[in-house]
Chains A and B, each alone.
Chain A
Amino acid sequence: MDFEWHLFVDSLPSLLHGARTTVALAAAAAVFGLIIGVSLALLHATAFPPLVWLVTGWTTLMRSLPLLVTLLFLYYGLPSIGILLSAVTVAIIAMAITTGAFVTEIMRAGIESIDRGQIRAAKSLGMSWVQSMRLVVLPQAFRRVLPPLTNEAITLLKNTALVSVIAIPDLLRAGTDIMTWKANTFSPFAGVALVYLCLTLPLVALNAYLEQGIKRSQR
């Protein structure tokens, strides 16, 4: 099967349309994943044993399950207990809780990397635990974990390709549709790969830039 230049070019508009869905899904999942991750990391930071166990158990579970399994479980499993959710809702939930588990681990490590002296100083100034987290620990932890967070964003963006299995018209699905109609795999998939690259490369560059920034500030 040959590469057909005109088919490649013709497929680009519908691929870009699919890419919009991909980006929107990834963005929504990133926002919710970040909220979940920061919240769970803070619950973990309370050092209150039941909360710590709960958070550790949940993140271990969600980091161990393949996203595809979570996706299919929610999509095909939930209706059998009477919960009907749209494919897009299921996709966002599945990706948010999966990425949220990884963000939890990243944030937890970030929070724990902040020198104990910082918390002591905050406490000695009369700050409550919440104030010391909000004003002293989290701002520093965020700066430190920005590179791994961008890495997680790259993973998330690529993982959105899995939602095509529950019939969401994302970038990959747009490619497979063209492949089916035009009976040509090479040309549309070259386009799919190209568009994914265009989406992820800026994040890869951002990641590299932030890593450098951290190295600079440590000199």
Chain B
Amino acid sequence: MFRNQYDTDVTTWSPQGRLFQVEYAMEAVKQGSAAIGLRSKTHVVLASVNKAQSELSSHQKKIFKVDHHIGVAIAGLTADGRVLSRYMRSECINYSYTYESPLPVGRLVVQLADKAQVCTQRSWKRPYGVGLLVAGLDESGAHLYYNCPSGNYFEYQAFAIGSRSQAAKTYMERRFEGFVSSTREDLLKDALFALRETLQGEKLKSSICTVAVVGVGEEFHILDNETVQGLIDAFEIVGEETPAPEEAAPAADEPAAADQGAPADEGAAPMDI
């Protein structure tokens, strides 16, 4: 009768040592539209794909400013994401009230992870169904963290979450070693290229994505549509074009026609993560 007798509440282990409710929550992150983040020594860029629920509706916001020096991109249940970003905002503002200085990013992430962890250990609660990419700058430099519904958190050089994020990860895995010394503009470029990988051939336009930056001398802010479209045009990112490999532009011309089918193939395979 029941497909699985160990998944009705968060606190029950399966004999294999798994907590199904927690795993389901992590699945919810994969259902959401993609969000990516990458960082250099001085900057962090977040980018997300905006998908409208229906033809008639607008899309939901996926990137939030938490404080002057911190922002998040979310994938999964947007409602949960907003609750968590409100919590983060309040932690930041309380810290700056007491110390008149910005809350270190790593500390905020630990607090956030602790909050998520509690939900995996209380019978009357459910885990948050949202994954957060936390981008921030503090006295120890630029940081990018991924926060998971399970209460785990990891620091990354570059990461992607949400549907078809594997394609973006694959793109960034090929190039991340250069990110540390990237300029702000190169990071933005890589962010848009990586984001395009998740689109499965759909054309990348500023209307379906959000891009945000934080860095040295630059508060966290979401770039406006015109700026993003300007970047897309400048990098000539078109859906049909080849995914820029190691050396991006130069190779683009010739193989473009030959590789027509390639992006779709590459995107399709890693779809089921």
**B and A form one assembly:** no
Q: Please list the residues of chain B having a beta carbon within 8 angstroms of any beta carbon in chain A.
A: none
Q: Please list the residues of chain A having a beta carbon within 8 angstroms of any beta carbon in chain B.
A: none
